[in-house]
Every structure is written in C-alpha cells, then in structure tokens.
Amino acid sequence: MEAEASDPEPPDAGEDSKSENGENAPIYCICRKPDINCFMIGCDNCNEWFHGDCIRITEKMAKAIREWYCRECREKDPKLEIRYRHKKSRERDSTERDGSEPRDEGGGRRRPAPDLDLQRRAGSGTGVGAMLARGSASPHKSSPQPLVATPSQHHQQQQQIKRSARMCGECEACRRTEDCGHCDFCRDMKKFGGPNKIRQKCRLRQCQLRARLSPVMPSESLPRPRRPLPTQQQPQPSQKLGRIREDEGAVASAAVKEPPEATATPEPLSDEDLPLDPDLYQDFCAGAFDDHGLPWMSDTEESPFLDPALRKRAVKVKHVKRREKKSEKKKEERYKRHRQKQKHKDKWKHPERTDAKDPASLPQCLGPGCVRAAQPGSKYCSDDCGMKLAANRIYEILPQRIQQWQQSPCIAEEHGKKLLERIRREQQSARTRLQEMERRFHELEAIILRAKQQAVREDEESNEGDSDDTDLQIFCVSCGHPINPRVALRHMERCYAKYESQTSFGSMYPTRIEGATRLFCDVYNPQSKTYCKRLQVLCPEHSRDPKVPADEVCGCPLVRDVFELTGEFCRLPKRQCNRHYCWEKLRRAEVDLERVRVWYKLDELFEQERNVRTAMTNRAGLLALMLHQTIQHDPLTTDLRSSADR
Amino acid sequence: MFFIFILLDRRAKILAAWFRTGHLASLQTWSFRVMTTKESGGAKAESALSSSANPSKRVSEKPNYALKFTLVGHTEAVSSVKFSPNGEWLASSSADKVIIIWGAYDGKHEKTLKGHNLEISDVAWSSDSGRLVSASDDKTLKIWDVRSGKCLKTLTGHSDYVFCCNFNPPSNLIISGSFDESMKIWEVKTGKCLKTLSAHSDPVSAVHFNCSGSLIVSGSYDGVCRIWDAASGQCLKTLVDDDNPPVSFVKFSPNGKYILIATLDNTLKLWDYSRGRCLKTYTGHKNEKYCIFASFSVTGGKWIVSGSEDNLVYIWNLQTKEIVQKLQGHTDVVISAACHPTENIIASAALGNDKTVKLWMSN
C-alpha cells in the first residue's frame, strides 16, 4: 500500500500487524491468508474465495467458467458441477483439471462495502469524484453491487437457452422470456393488438450480438442522469465489452485489460482538465461519465455498426498469433470508446456546444436587449454584451448589498480598529525605549572616552593581591586545555573568537534601518550570498581586535559590590589587566543587543499592523459583496453576542 | 387589568413592561414589550412575572433557537462548518473548493481561502484560532494562516480522498482520516507525516483528539470505532456494539470521558469510553447516507445537536434523550451542525440544493 510506504515501518510489519489483528483482516482460501492482491475465484456454493495460485486456476481459465464450485463443495454435494461458457471452451478445458476455472468478475475481487448508498459529504459532486477515482483505482476497489448481467446470475438459471444464427443465448436480450409490449415491434404483434406487418421480435429481446438491428430504439433509451448516480455503473463496461469479446471467440485477456483502460480515459479528464467554473465541471463530469453510465446502451448502439466488422475481424484474427490479437483489440476498444465519447458528447453536452452550423439551435446572447446568437462556447455574442450585463448586474445588486452590509455594524471591523490602536500604542512605547537605548549608547561612549584619558598607574592594584594559586588549573571551555586562572578570561575570549570565526551567521538581506549607527556587522559573504548578522562590535569573523599599544590604560569603571560605581577607573595598562579584558567591547555589545531587540519588536508590530490594515481594506470589497450575502432574519438582532458589546 | 411593572436592575436602567392578564395561570396570553439589556432584562422579567407556577427554569428545559442569519456565498454543497475556539469566526468548507470565513456574531463574510483542486470535506481550527487545516478530495490537506489567508503548508501522502481532519489541543499535530482506510498524524511545523495508522478496513469517516491530546478516536464505515494512544499510535480499545452499522461520526465529549458516535442507522450513541458501554441513545432523526456532524452544546443547557437528512437540525436533551427542538429552515440535508464555544449560537450547513449556512441563536 502506498500509504504505508511513507511509514518507517517495513511493509512486513504492516502485513503482520494486519493478520495479528485477526478480527480486522478477513482470511480466504485454503491457505487462510488475508491476501487479496492476487487473482481470486469464488465458490458459488459456499461463497468462499480462493487464490488462483493456490488452487491452480489462472484468469484465462476462469474466463471460460460460468459457475464454479470449490473442491469441498463438490465432494460434499455431487450434484454441483462446474459449468462453462462455450462449447468450444468446454472442449478445450475438459482436458484440464477439474475445478480449475476461475470466474471473471470485474468488481468481485473483494468483499462488498457495507452500503452502496454511502455518499460523501459534498453530495453528488464528490460522488462523481468518487466514481471516477474508484474507476481509476485498481479494480478490486470498485463497488460491487450485483450487476445486471454478472455471471453470478447466470448460474442461477439452470435452463439452457436455445441458440441460433440470430441468438447467442448468452446476452441479456436473449435471456428475456417475455415481450415488453411497449416497443414498436411488440405493438405490431397480434397478441398486443397489432396488424402484424413488421413481424419482428420484441426490441428488448433482440440479441445484442447477433441481431440484424439495434435492440433499442434511440428514442427509447433511458434518460441519462444529469448528475451521475454514485451507484454501480463502474464494472459494467468491463463486463459487457469483455463478454462481447468472448462471444466473438476472442482472447479472454482483453477483458482484463479493459478495466484499467476503460477508466484511464476519463481519469485525466477529471483530474487535470478541471475547469474552474463549477457548471462546466459538472458538464465535464457528466460528459465523461456518460462513457460509463449505462454503457450497455452505448454498446448496443455501437455494436450493430461495428459488430459485423468485429465479427469478421475476430474470425480472421483467431488464426493470427495472440499478441497481435491483443493489440488490435486494444485499438478497437479505444476507437470504439472514442466514438462513443464523441457521440455522447454531441448528444448530452451543454446545448451551447452544439453544431455551429445550425444558428437556429444556438442560444440567445445573454446581453441586455441583445437578440443575436451567442458565440459557441460562450454565453454572449461579443465582449461588449458581456460587459454590459456585468455592469447591469453591479448596478442592480450592489447597492442593496452595500445597504445590507451597513445595516449592522461589522464586528470584525471594530476589532480591527481596536487592534490598530493597541498596536500603535505599543509602537509608541517601543520608540521611547529605543530612545532610551540611544541615550545609554551615548553615555557608554562618553564613559569609555573618559576612561581612556586616565593616566596609567603601574604599581597600584597589582594582581599580586589575588589569591596566588597557580597550581589550580581551569580548563578552557572551548579548547579544553588547562589554563592558569589568572589569564583564564583572556585565553577563553581569544579561544572562543578563534572557533567562532570559523562559522558564518547571516541572512540574505542587508540591514536597512535608518537612525541606527552601528548594529550588525553586515559584511557580505559572496559564497553564501549572505550578510553577516552578528553584532558589529562582537563579530569575531570580520573584526579583529586592534593591537593594544603599550601605554593604553585599561580604564574600566570600578565597582563596589558589583553594582555601585565608585567613580574610579582601573589604572593598569591594558596589556596587563587581567580582570577587565575587553570591557568596552562587552559593554557596547550589551547596549547594542538591547537596541536590536527593540528594533525586532518594532518590526513585529509593523507586521501586525500591516496584516490588520490589509484585512480591513479587503473586507467588503466589490467581489466580496457581489458573491456573498448575509440575510438577516431578525431585524432587531444584529449582534449575536449576549454580553454587553465590548 | 393592566399592570405596569417598573423594574430596576443593577445598573439603574429602567425596564417597563405592560401586561394584560386574563388570569394568572394563562401566562401565554400576555403580550408585552420589554426594553431590556439582554441577559439581565430577560431573567428579571421572567422572575418578576413568575408569580404563578411559571417555572423559571423553562429556559434551560428547552432551548428556543431561532434563525438569525443566513449566509449565502457558496456555489456548491457546504460540507462542514466549525466555530473558532475564540468564538469570533465561523469557517465553512464546501464542494466548490473554497473555505469561507464569516464573522461568528454578525455573519458577515470575512475571507475566502482558495487553493484546493477538488472538493473539501472537512475543516478544523487550531486552538489559537490562527490556523485552519482542510481535508480535500485531491488527497491533500492544507494548513492555512487565517489572518493572511495564505496556505502555509500542503500535506501530501494519502492515496485517496482525505475525509476528516483535526488539530490536537496544543495544535502541533494534525490527525487526518482518509478513504484509503488509514489515518495519518502530521507535524504542523514541518508538514511531515509522523505516523500512519492502518486503522480500519473501510474509509475512515471521523477522527478526533480528546481534550488533553493523549487519545485519538476514529470511526469508519466498517462499523468499528477505535481509540488510539496519540504518542505511540497503539490501538487501546475497539468499541463494537451488537450490530455494526457504518460509523459516520465520532467525537469526544468536552471532558474527554464520553464518546459520541453517530451511525448510519439513524442513531446517535453516547458511550462511556473507559467502561466500553453505551450510556445513551438518541434517535428520531434521519441519518442513513451522509456523514453528518454532531456536537455537544454546553453553553446553555446540555444538549446534543445534530443535522439530519430530513432538512432539520435536531437538538436532544443529553440526559433525558428526548428531542427538545427541531430547527427548520434548510432545504437540503443538514450535513453539519456546530455549537459556539461561549454563546448559545448554532451554525448549520446544508448540501447542494441549499448551499447556505444558517446561524441560530437561543436566549
């Protein structure tokens, strides 16, 4: 099953689990396996299904069987015999093993679905889809309501129907025992009060294969449903055509080929050529479906014309090799189906698509005041007419729709306005925060500037005051080497920068923010076509720490108890100071990060505002008003909310 | 005799009621015009009038849903309607391949979501009311962002029509049931199928998460209703009754203890999941062909609401199982009925002859 292919479980597990849940998967055949993907034949007595492989019956052999009983049933009840279809095939098969003839049933490969009338939610529209898709799926998924002319019904009738030059004895018409009494031939009969001038068999009893005329008059054919019924039409074409083929003494394999072929043609039509106009879609489906809706009608119409040709060809073909027969049959079928399709399309298509040569039958253009005929394939005679009609529609319908809309306050609109207000307020607060950030930024710069101006004092605040445990080793976080705690900070910073500079972090878009002095690194990487999105002050990849001159002072503002500034600055030379390594960089980065976050927030708010504004503008547009309508039944109630309107 | 009642409510608004009485018992003959604010006025007037044996509980014994809005816009049969969890929107999916979003309180058209190639069978909201998932005959599901109207992801993998879909309460997973007899669990963020449960031997007609998101219930045409563990995908329980008519709809109750099962023999059943027993049966409607949605109504009295094939919306009392109201107005099979999460509003949708969504309100 394709569905399970995506599953990580192997297919075996799927099958095993299926058979483990014994109650789900029905098991068949002498092998007691639930496998239904191969050819199967059913016993007409016990209704058990058997795999062709297990009882050694091939599909071809099954074609010739009309009634089949399994070995057990035949042993229990000696009266049950396997019945075959033709004298010829009987002779052929009498030499083969008993009970080795499987049946051919287009839909009979699987147990019937619970209820045939199950429709899907959207009614007949999907019914069509269901039928078309069902047809395209493997035959054993089709709905299996007992068909009019299945072999299963054949074996019910025990009597032999005589066969002659004009009666095959097998088809539905030959099996009828009573005259209908309504057709023209019956009404001509003496027993129905006719003059007995025509002297022909009842129309419905004209053999579908061998009669000289068409069994059913075109005028009496059943009206085709506009929307196809989601019932059993599917397997019939394969049945009918298959059996016709057989009666010609042709190769049985053609019948097997038919289900996929018969359904191959409508499927592309339904799935790919779907017009957007739902009306057209229905027509398409109807047209496509007419191919298979009541196919026996189509066959009976066609067969008189093709039949003699077929017969002759069939006779000739018998003497040729099998392979050629198969391909010829396929072509014939396609040709036949094509002709059927054409015919049906001509008859049942939308009236506007009829022959353009007959102007009297063309519908009138729908333009206002226009009396000309419409163009084929259109509802109007010209574009102008269409435009005029559209304009009239708008003038007529739009005002009342606008009035309907304005009758009651639009709640979504109110919500939108409130949302906009909130967003605007948040944007305001974000902007003030931004200004705050800018201020801090400037402050920091000032501090740094001041700090640089401090004089260097070597002796005081030397690091000797620190705990002098040189034997205590810290391991660097990045590289893992042991390092002296005194130089740990410096080392780890450098180490981290080294590793980090090897990776890239960027996006496709350069930063375009007005009023931001320095945020992102934005260095373009031509290989990955990205702009580096690290903070500019921190980016290890694209900015190297400047070399520290020997006399530069550290200058870090000293603090007491972590937070209180003492006003003093660190006087050690930068190179020697181990406590305040890179303090400017880090503080700048802090401030920058805050600014970046505020910009992100502003961006989000812009996005939200844009969404709300689009929604508000798109609401109650021309198309929306014309296509939809909200009918108010209770003039007092415009708002279904029970609590006070917020 | 004429009475003039002047009632003062808490907010010092004045309600004036004019009455004309025959005798106290026949309250039905009274006609009055009351200017009220909705909730307080109604209740106060009723309790003031109930000098006789007019039970003030009448409101909760039977609802009085009345048709308020008809939403016209679909060009084909509507297949499903759902209210958003925040109560603001109503989404309706249809055979014309679009989803329309309407305002839940005023019924005004808000947005149309286009993108599917074939009919849509079901639609479901995420818990934050920001996303929708739709199941379609084109064998895919689509995740939509409601605010922008865009399709965020298309989930492919099913081999036949996708029939039903639902989010889990955290809304990071989607469960879908399909005609290919399997159920799939999808991850919302990536759009990938996490698990495929070969659930049934016939099309899966309904799938639903419970309120915590740990269990999944699924129903199918093979008559079997199964409960699965969402995390592992194991089948925990199978609910089968004596007969097994095709199951057309299943749903957990809001507290997660019971399961509402609709079958195609005109029956709705309320099962106790843990004990595996049928507790209540609701009949009287017609349901033999279509998979009709049913719903629990908890905002007013405790009702079961369901559509029906005789063009009515049926409302049953959950405890007593009797039909308390039948809503008339549709001209075709009512395929879907949904209840608003906070207000006494019901939305119903009908098939091809009707193509409308109707909003009913009760007080």
Q: Which pLDDT score, from 0 to 100, does residue A214 have?
A: 60
A115 touches chain B (CB under 8 A): yes
Q: Which pLDDT score, from 0 to 100, does residue B10 have?
A: 46
User: Do residue A24 and residue B201 have CB atoms under 8 angstroms apart?
Assistant: yes
Partners of residue B238 in chain A, C-beta under 8 Å: 23
Provide the token pair at B232: 């592992």
What residues contact residue A612 under an 8 Å CB cut-off, 6+ apart?
A416, A419, A420, A423
Partners of residue B109 in chain A, C-beta under 8 Å: 620, 624, 628, 630
Q: Which pLDDT score, from 0 to 100, does residue B135 have?
A: 95
User: Do residue A122 and residue B345 have CB atoms under 8 angstroms apart?
Assistant: no
Which of A115, A126, A405 faces B137 most closely, judged by CB atoms?
Answer: A126
Q: Sign of the C-alpha dihedral, residues A627, A628, A633, A634?
A: negative
Nearest to A129, CA basis, from B138, B175, B59, B340: B138
CB A42 within 8 A of CB A69: no
Q: Could you give the C-alpha distances from B349 to A121, A590, B309, B335, in angstroms and in order?
A: 11, 57, 12, 6
* pLDDT bracket for residue B6 (50, 70, 90): very low
Binding-face residues of A in 607-636 toward B, CB within 8 A:
611, 614-615, 618-620, 624, 627-634
CB pairs under 8 A between A and B: 199
Nearest to A513, CA basis, from A540, A533, A538: A533
Residue B357 has pLDDT above 70, yes or no: yes
Q: Which of A9, A111, A120, A121 to mutate to test the interface with B (most CBs of B within 10 A)?
A: A121
Partners of residue A132 in chain B, C-beta under 8 Å: none
* pLDDT bracket for residue B231 (50, 70, 90): very high
Q: Which residue of A has its CA nearest to B73?
A: A628
Nearest to B280, CA basis, from B226, B316, B327, B238: B316
CB A52 within 8 A of CB A35: no
Q: Could you give the C-alpha distances from A231 to A113, B76, B123, in angstroms and in order?
A: 12, 21, 27
What residues contact residue A94 under an 8 Å CB cut-off, 6+ apart?
none
Q: What percent of chain A has pLDDT over 90?
A: 8
Nearest to B58, CA basis, from B85, B27, B102: B27
User: Do residue A410 and residue B112 have CB atoms under 8 angstroms apart?
Assistant: no
Q: Sign of the C-alpha dihedral, residues B179, B184, B188, B193?
A: negative
Q: How far apart are alpha carbons B325 and B323 in whole angstroms?
A: 6
A564 touches chain B (CB under 8 A): no
Nearest to B70, CA basis, from B305, B362, B355, B363: B355
How many Å is the Cα radius of gyration of chain B?
22
Which of B77, B195, B359 faces A125 most closely, judged by CB atoms?
Answer: B77
* pLDDT bracket for residue A16 (50, 70, 90): very low
* pLDDT bracket for residue B180 (50, 70, 90): very high
Question: Is A110 strand, coil or helix?
Answer: coil
A18 touches chain B (CB under 8 A): yes
Which of A1, A3, A611 faces B147 most closely, judged by CB atoms?
Answer: A611
Q: Which of B89, B98, B105 to mutate to test the interface with A (most CBs of A within 10 A)?
A: B105
Which of B95, B111, B193 faces A6 most closely, judged by CB atoms?
Answer: B193
Q: Which pLDDT score, from 0 to 100, does residue A340 have?
A: 52
CB A175 within 8 A of CB A159: no
What residues contact residue A358 under an 8 Å CB cut-off, 6+ apart?
none
Go through A455-476 and write b for each residue having 16 or more CB atoms within 10 A of its CB, e for each that does not.
Answer: eeeeeebeeeeeeeeeeeebee
Cα A137–Cα A250–Cα A258 angle in degrees, nearest 5: 10
User: Do residue B95 and residue A615 have CB atoms under 8 angstroms apart?
Assistant: no
User: Do residue A628 and residue B73 have CB atoms under 8 angstroms apart?
Assistant: yes
Cα A454–Cα A456–Cα A460 angle in degrees, nearest 5: 115
Partners of residue B67 in chain A, C-beta under 8 Å: 633-634
CB B238 within 8 A of CB B260: no
Which of B66, B79, B110 faces A122 most closely, judged by CB atoms?
Answer: B79
Partners of residue A641 in chain B, C-beta under 8 Å: 105, 343
Partners of residue B38 in chain A, C-beta under 8 Å: 642
Q: How far apart are alpha carbons A356 and A351 in whole angstroms?
A: 11
A396 touches chain B (CB under 8 A): no
Provide the token pair at A501: 């500079």
How does pLDDT run across A242-289, given as a tens digit for each residue? 344 444 444 444 444 444 444 444 444 444 444 444 454 444 444 444
CB A51 within 8 A of CB A39: yes
Residue B210 has pLDDT above 80, yes or no: yes
Listing DSSP states for B236-300 in one string gives EEEE--SS-PPEEEEEE-TTSSEEEEEETTTEEEEEETTTTEEEEEE-SS--SSS---EEEE-SS
Partners of residue A604 in chain B, C-beta under 8 Å: none
Return the axis-axis angle of helices A583-618 and A411-452, rounded to nearest 10°. Answer: 160
Q: Which residues pair with A416 in a beta bridge?
A: none
Q: Residue A262 class from Cβ within 10 Å (0-12 exposed, 13-18 middle, 19+ buried)? A: buried
A635/chain B closest Cα distance in angstroms: 9
Measured between its terminal Cα atoms, the distance across chain B in Å is 29
ipTM of the complex: 0.75
Q: Which residues pair with A436 in a beta bridge?
A: none
Provide the token pair at A13: 């597990």
Binding-face residues of A in 131-150 toward B, CB within 8 A:
133, 137
Q: If you average pLDDT over each of A113-122, A250-259, A449-458, B279-288, which comes out highest? A: B279-288
Q: Which residue of A has its CA nearest to B205?
A: A120
User: Do residue B106 and residue A1 have CB atoms under 8 angstroms apart?
Assistant: no
Which of the residue ranges A69-73, A611-615, B251-255 would you say has the lowest mean pLDDT? Answer: A69-73
Over residues A490-498, mean pLDDT: 87
Q: Which pLDDT score, from 0 to 100, does residue A212 have?
A: 79
Q: Which of A4, A24, A401, A640 to mutate to test the interface with B (most CBs of B within 10 A)?
A: A640
User: Do residue A113 and residue B39 have CB atoms under 8 angstroms apart?
Assistant: no
Nearest to A461, CA basis, from A575, A570, A559: A570
Q: Which pLDDT score, from 0 to 100, does residue A33 have?
A: 84
How does pLDDT run across B258-281, given as a tens digit for each residue? 999 999 999 999 999 888 889 999
Q: Which residue of B has its CA nearest to A17?
A: B198
A24 touches chain B (CB under 8 A): yes
Q: Which residue of A has its CA nearest to B203?
A: A113
Q: Which pLDDT score, from 0 to 100, does residue A38 have?
A: 84
How does pLDDT run across B25-50, given as a tens digit for each residue? 443 443 334 343 444 444 444 343 43
* pLDDT bracket for residue B226 (50, 70, 90): very high
Provide the token pair at B81: 């309607």
User: Do residue A628 and residue B137 have CB atoms under 8 angstroms apart?
Assistant: no
Partners of residue A640 in chain B, C-beta under 8 Å: 68-69, 104-107, 343, 345, 359, 361
Partners of residue B134 in chain A, C-beta under 8 Å: none
Residue A426 has pLDDT above 90, yes or no: yes
Q: Which pLDDT score, from 0 to 100, does residue A299 have?
A: 43
Partners of residue A112 in chain B, C-beta under 8 Å: none
Q: Which of B163, B198, B226, B359 to mutate to test the interface with A (most CBs of A within 10 A)?
A: B198
B281/chain A closest Cα distance in angstroms: 22
Over residues A426-445, mean pLDDT: 90
Q: How far apart are alpha carbons B112 and A626 in whole angstroms?
A: 13
Q: How far apart are alpha carbons A444 and A181 in whole angstroms?
A: 108
> Judging by DSSP bridges, how do beta strands B356-361 and B66-72 pair with one another?
antiparallel
CB A7 within 8 A of CB B159: no
User: Do residue B96 and residue A278 have CB atoms under 8 angstroms apart?
Assistant: yes
Q: How far apart are alpha carbons A149 and A507 in whole angstroms?
A: 69
Q: How far apart are alpha carbons A315 and A255 in whole angstroms?
A: 18
Q: How far apart are alpha carbons B283 and B140 in whole angstroms?
A: 35
Q: Which of B36, B86, B96, B109 to mutate to test the interface with A (most CBs of A within 10 A)?
A: B109
CB B85 within 8 A of CB B341: yes
Q: How far apart are alpha carbons B9 and B15 in whole angstroms?
A: 8
Q: Which residue of A has its CA nearest to B164?
A: A121
Partners of residue B235 in chain A, C-beta under 8 Å: 21
Whether the pTM exceeds 0.90: the reply is no
CB B183 within 8 A of CB B175: yes
Nearest to B290, CA basis, from B332, B260, B243, B318: B332
Nearest to A598, CA basis, from A431, A421, A428, A426: A431
How does pLDDT run across B312-321, given as a tens digit for each residue? 999 999 999 9
Q: If you average pLDDT over each of A325-334, A487-496, B239-248, B326-335, which comes out highest? A: B326-335
Residue written as tokens 């093709």? A306
Question: Is A184 strand, coil or helix?
Answer: helix
